Structures are given as structure tokens and as C-alpha cells.
Amino acid sequence: MKTRILGKFGPIVSAVGLGCMGMSEFYGKSEYAESRKTLLGALESGVTFLDTADCYANGQNEELLGDILKEWCGDVFVATKFGIVREPGVYERQISGRPEYVQQAAEASLRRLKRDVIDLYYLHRIDVNVPIEETIGAMANLVQQGKVRYIGISEASASTIRRAHSVHPLTAVQSEYSLMTRHIENEVLPVLRELGIGFVAYSPLCRGLLTGQLNQALLEKESDFRKSMPRLQGENLVHNLKLADRLAKIAEQKGVTAAQISLAWVLAKGEDIVPIPGTKRHKYLMDNIEAVTIELSAEEISEIESAVPIKAVLGDRYTEAGMVGVEA
């Protein structure tokens, strides 16, 4: 597994990480045995960067990682997030960046993860009712207490990133980024590069749209939250799958999978970018990992971007409820 530095002064992590959310919620039924196999397979393959959050299945995802990591003696870098407050089984959420909540949330995550320190702690969404300086100040206190090593924020605007970084250095900013979701390229990425902050790309396969594995039947599952997303509904889905088919043809010509060429494209967009494709299936994990071996020429990158133009994707990436706390 190749490695990358997360931010100018941050840690060294695997070039591809693993998003763990779907192992516990949102993408159909949870399967503990398969999730365990996937997590251990990732660690054994050199994936050192695991991403979770306290709101994924109301802490159950953190507990899953905690159970697995008790048995692991090798390197691992765990990122978790706070700030989204949900009732069990309900998607709608409240956002909290209150300083007193920051402390409470971190201590609860540490208990569930069974760890003494959180490697990277993110503010999951932006609380518009609390100045970002106050939230980051509380996160900085966690660093001083030795409970957190590095801090970051998710789905923040360029201006919020600057304000946060002025209080305490941010190691990483996490936002959705893929061939089909490229909004951060205009303002956010330039600011991160100016300030020396790493970028973590979640949903680099666009919720499965770019893998060639997504279809209407899969989305019909009662517990798959993706069927509520505007870009995965009706005519939007039909149109977007046609774009994905174009990419699949390019991948086939190169002798790789659609998922691999999608991840290779993200990796090619900058050494400061670390994608964290999420999966609960071991076979998809192993497929994703191989993306680090794929080299794309400038001509191939241009061909890929022409096949899936920035403005060609139809539909918003979240519902109105899902956009709460999203700035970027």
C-alpha cells in the first residue's frame, strides 16, 4: 500500500482509506461477520486510515471498530466525527458545535472505540448557531488534554476553514469528492493548499454510481438511504447511470474496473488528497485497494473528465434534511 502525508505537517496514512459507515447503517442490513472480514482485510493489506463517526448507527459503528482494533497490533489511524445529533433510526438531525458538547462527545467516542486518544477528530457539520472559533477552541482543548492528536472539519466553506485554522491548525478537511461531485475544486481545495491542510474525499465512488454495481433494484431495499437522494431518483438516476456507463467503457479499455479508475482519478488530482471509499464487502475492498497501482496519463484524465463532465450530473447530492450543516 502506498502512503501519503495528511496535510503539510500531518501524519503518514495509507493512500486509500476505508469509510466504515455502511457497515452499521444506511446501506442495507448490517452483517457483522462480513464487516469484520473487511476491516481485518483492510488492515492486513496496509490500509491504516479508518473513518467513522459517533452518529453512525448511534455509536454502533465506533463500537464495531473498537472491538476489531482490540485484536490488532499493527499501525492504524482512526478518524471519527461529532456534531450530528440524531434519534435512533431517524435520518433527520440537529447540529451541535457547542463547546461543552465537544468534550462530552469526544469522551463518549473514546469509550466506544476503546482507545486512549482519537487520532483525527472532525466537526462533522457546521453549527451556524455557534461561532466556529468556539467549537475549534474546544477541540483544541482536547488536543491539550491528550485526548485528540489532530483536528479537522467536514463540509465547510473556504471562509470557515480559514477562521477555524486561525484558532488551531487543521490537519484535514473532509468533503464529498468524486468525478460526479467536484464543487470543492473552485474555492476549498485552493485554500487547503495555501494553508497546508490535507483533503479527505468521502464518497469518491459517488454512493456507488461510479462502480457499475448500482441499479434500481438495489436502491429499492427498505434500509438503503440512497433511494432518497435526488440524484438517485427517477430520470436523474437513468441519466447519471448513462454517464457512469461511459466511464465503465474507458475502464474496460484500460483493463481495470470502473471503481478502480474512479479512485485512480481522485488520487491523480493531488498528492494531498486521500480518498476513503466506503464498503462493507471484502471483495469490493480488495478491488478498491488496487486503485493505488493505476497510473493515469494527462490524456486519460482528460478523457475521463470528458466522459463525466462537471455539470452533466443531474440532481442534488442530499435531500434538504441532509444538507443541514453543509456549507461547501
Active site residues: 56
Q: 241-277: buried (b, 16+ CB within 10 Å) or exposed (e) per residue? A: bebbebbbebbeebebbbbbbbbbbbbbbeebbbbbb
The size of the chain, in residues, is 328
Please give the C-alpha separations between residue 55 and each of 38, 82, 159, 226, in angstroms, as whole numbers: 21, 7, 26, 17
Quick one: angle between helices 282-289 and 32-44, nearest 10? 20
Which DSSP state fits 3?
Answer: E
* 146/1 Cα distance (integer angstroms): 29
Q: Report the distance separating Cα 215 and Cα 208, nearest Å.
A: 9
